[in-house]
Amino acid sequence: MCESAVYLVKGSDRTLVMPEAARIIVHDRGVTCVDTLGDRKEVPGARVSEANLVRHEILLIVGKG
């Protein structure tokens, strides 16, 4: 499968947002993660910091940067 784990990064801490996201939607309010069943998780104010496709990881951060 092509899903990726999505993490919210704060300093050196990572919090799992969604273990198997199939889709990432970036919008002006933040980021929406969607899995293969259509379940959604909103992360207000977030932006994509890194997408590591080899490791199947998407890293999000909140705030300026």
pTM exceeding 0.95: no
pLDDT in tens, 6-38: 999 999 999 999 999 999 999 999 999 999 999
User: For residue 26, what are its two tokens?
Assistant: 């970036």
- Asked if 48 contacts 60 with a C-beta cutoff of 8 angstroms, the reply is yes
- Asked if 58 contacts 18 with a C-beta cutoff of 8 angstroms, the reply is no
pLDDT in tens, 38-57: 999 999 999 999 999 999 99
Range 2-33 burial, b when 16+ CB lie within 10 A, else e: eebbbbbeeeeeeeebbebbbebeeeeeebbb
Sign of the dihedral through C-alpha 1, 37, 51, 8 = negative
